[in-house]
Amino acid sequence: MKYPKEYLDEIKTRLKVSSVVSKTVSLKKRGKEEKPVGTVWISVADSEGVFSQKLTLDGDRSAVRHGTVLAALTLLLEHLVDEETDL
């Protein structure tokens, strides 16, 4: 499940920030074929739009959490660097 652009835009407006990062994750022990355990969607919303990435991570909750944070911060950093180089 990705967050809709309108939802992320509202978060940016309410927090008065230029970029936001979001995630959804399936950590339940019973994964489904279409959404197995460890399926994570991360998104970055900025002035250019919403950029989403689907991850499929292995391991326990801690490993999935660590992988999610690392991927989300990497995605955010890539977009922040792109904004800086576009100036």
Helix, strand, or coil (residue 49): strand
Phi first, then psi: what are they for 41, rounded to 5°?
-110, 130
Q: pLDDT-derived band of residue 66, with 50, 70 and 90 as boundaries?
A: very high
The pTM of this model reads 0.73
Tell me the β-bridge partners of 67: none
pLDDT of residue 48: 79
What is the average per-residue pLDDT within 48-53? 85
Phi first, then psi: what are they for 3, rounded to 5°?
-80, 140
Please say whether the dihedral angle defined by the alpha carbons of residues 9, 79, 71 and 54, taken in this order, is positive or negative: positive
Q: Give the total number of structural domains in the chain.
A: 1
What's the CATH number where 35 sits? 3.90.950.20
**Could you tell me the residue range of the domain that residue 14 belongs to?**
5-86
